Amino acid sequence: MLSPLKGKTMLLSDNAAATHAPQLTYKGRWTAYDIRDDFPILSQQVHGKPLVYLDSTASSQKPNAVIDAMNVYYRTYHANVHRGVYRISEEATAAMEKARVKIARFINARQSKQVIFTNSTTGSINLVAYSWGYANIHAGDLIVLTEMEHHSNLVPWQLLAQRSGARLEFIPVTDDGLLRLDVYEQLLQQQPKLVAFTHMSNVLGTINPAQQMIAQAHAVGALVLLDAAQSVPHLPLDVQTLDVDFLAFSGHKMLGPTGIGVLYGKRDLLEAMPPFMGGGDMIRTVQLRQSSWNDLPWKFEAGTPAIAEAIGLGAAVDYLNALGMEQVRQHEQEMTTYAMAQLQAIAGLTIYGPSPAQRGGVISFTLDDIHPHDLASILDQETGVAIRAGHHCAQPLMERYELAATARASFYVYTVKEDIDTLVQGLKKAQKIFAL
């Protein structure tokens, strides 16, 4: 079976940025075995053993198509965008804006100008907190969050509350890793200005009922920011169906490069928001004592943007579209179901979060009294397995479960059952090392 992106990178043509990425050659069903050769890092060894990468929730690996697209930019048409009238500058501009269109279509935004390039999910959320929040959140206003938030969707609102005098309230999490929606309904009765929550927990894997929660918030006049860092790479997502006001996600978690993030917003909200940062490219006119602002999306993109990274993210979107997001989700459910069954058979291992049907490809766990950092180190050195250990930038959630840290294995399109089998073998070896 052919791999999704095996074509050669084509040379530039006179049609600026028309074909800066490999042509898609794959259609139909695929398996992780079919595409693993597209990810060069997976062929290496660590400590003399094949790398088993189970930390995609932190950052995914990159296919050749993404690496090649960025290399072609740097090798053949690198120039600054939006300013030059010479050929390679126009080609760079066209390639970057073409990537914006791809991303808009990927999440089904009405217009590409609703897609703002930032440096990360964190950058996107901070943009909303500082721009929209500064203009609209005042003393006594309520912002509703959840106990399962990543620090990136917690600390910016803490800072906003400290500056404005607003207050924060939180939707609790059950022992099974689900949100207490009954408490959410009670909090909505207090007329919050904003509800901000994660679509999918980076610790528990919980997939929250976003469409329902957004509709409930809108019914009481609240706006909603959805942290989609973990959902956009793994689930089909439609911003129009969700009717979400703001959506934030990162490129590096969805096969793209680091240093690039996306903020989607409803156009009327973005139009009304003041700039987040001042400088070049975000202006229309500049005088000594005042300036006027550029149109969307550039009003929020001060300075030289991450051009190569945007092009790389566009290539990642092409790759995911070739795979099909429904099939991506199905593959991860299969891997998660298999992994949970294998892990639950290990005596002394505790899994946190809901059933496979209610979670994405993330499993956080503890094993006996072995510290997760020790566990991760043993897995790396003894079996070549890469997992994450720690509080996962979700310290309040760790406190909710009275944990200092957990080990976390996460899966993506290139994960195979043998990876999980190696993880299980490594965990049993760790038990032997600790004589448990």
Residue 192 corresponds to which tokens in the numbers above? Answer: 């919050």
User: Alpha-carbon Rg of the chain, whole angstroms?
Assistant: 22
Distance between CA 132 and CA 246 in Å, rounded? 11
Q: Which of 183, 393, 403, 416 is catalytic?
A: 393
DSSP 137-154: --TT-EEEEETT--GGGT
- Amino acid type, 100: R
Residue 392 corresponds to which tokens in the numbers above? Answer: 């996962």
Q: 232 catalytic, yes or no?
A: no
Give me the helix-helix angle, 121-130 and 155-164, nearest 10°: 10
Distance between CA 386 and CA 419 in Å, rounded? 10
* Cβ neighbours for 196, distance < 8 A, ≥ 6 positions apart: 125, 143, 144, 145, 149, 153, 157, 224, 225, 226, 227
Distance between CA 283 and CA 215 in Å, rounded? 35
The sign of the dihedral angle between the CA atoms of 223, 228, 234, 238 is positive
Bridge partners for 145 per DSSP: 170
Residue 4 corresponds to which tokens in the numbers above? Answer: 């999704």
Q: Which residues are catalytic?
A: 393
